[in-house]
Amino acid sequence: MTRRFFSLLMLALLATTLSTCTGPAAKKASKQAGATENRIARCETRSCFLGLLEYGGQILLAKEQPDGTFEEVYQVRRKKGSTLRSFTHGILSVATLGIWNLVGSPIEGFMSSSDFIVFRVTYDPQGQPIKVEIQGG
């Protein structure tokens, strides 16, 4: 009975350690908010495109065309994340009893810096998008 209790106690302590030591570095490695090509393609209004700027983007160009259409070129942060990288950070956090978070958090902040998607949207004279071209990123 004592042996079983001790085993359950050790298992509970291990689970608690795993959940508390796999802190910010693992979370940062798992997901970075941003836009995807699919999300851009699903936008049907100008306000939707402007909402994508929340992810650290900007309008690079805005000009009216001679035919009355309006064109804007956007740059938005690409959504990124890696389950494998997050898992590795979690293992390292547990193996080093949390010390890895002191090193891993700045590394993840540096690695997930500037990966952007650039796209062009052409609006009709009433302001409705008529053409979306993803140009790169």
Q: What is the mean pLDDT of residues 12-20?
A: 57
* Nearest partner of 77 among 53, 94, 59, judged by Cα: 53
Range(s) of the domain holding residue 58 = 2-136
Q: Cα 2–7–22 angle (5° rounding)?
A: 150
Q: Is the per-residue pLDDT at 105 higher than 80? A: no
pTM confidence score: 0.56
As beta bridge partners, residue 73 has 61, 120
What is the structure's pLDDT at 135? 81
Could you tell me if 108 and 91 are in contact, meaning their C-beta atoms sit under 8 angstroms apart? no
Q: Which residue has the higher pLDDT, 120 or 31?
A: 120
DSSP designation for 97: T
Residue type, 123: Y
Q: Which residue has the higher pLDDT, 19 or 40?
A: 40
How many domains is the chain partitioned into structurally? 1
What is the structure's pLDDT at 113? 47
- Which pLDDT band holds residue 72 (cuts at 50, 70, 90)? very high
Question: What's the CA gap between 79 and 77, in Å, rounded?
Answer: 7
Question: In the structure encoding, which two tokens stand for residue 92, read together?
Answer: 């390292």
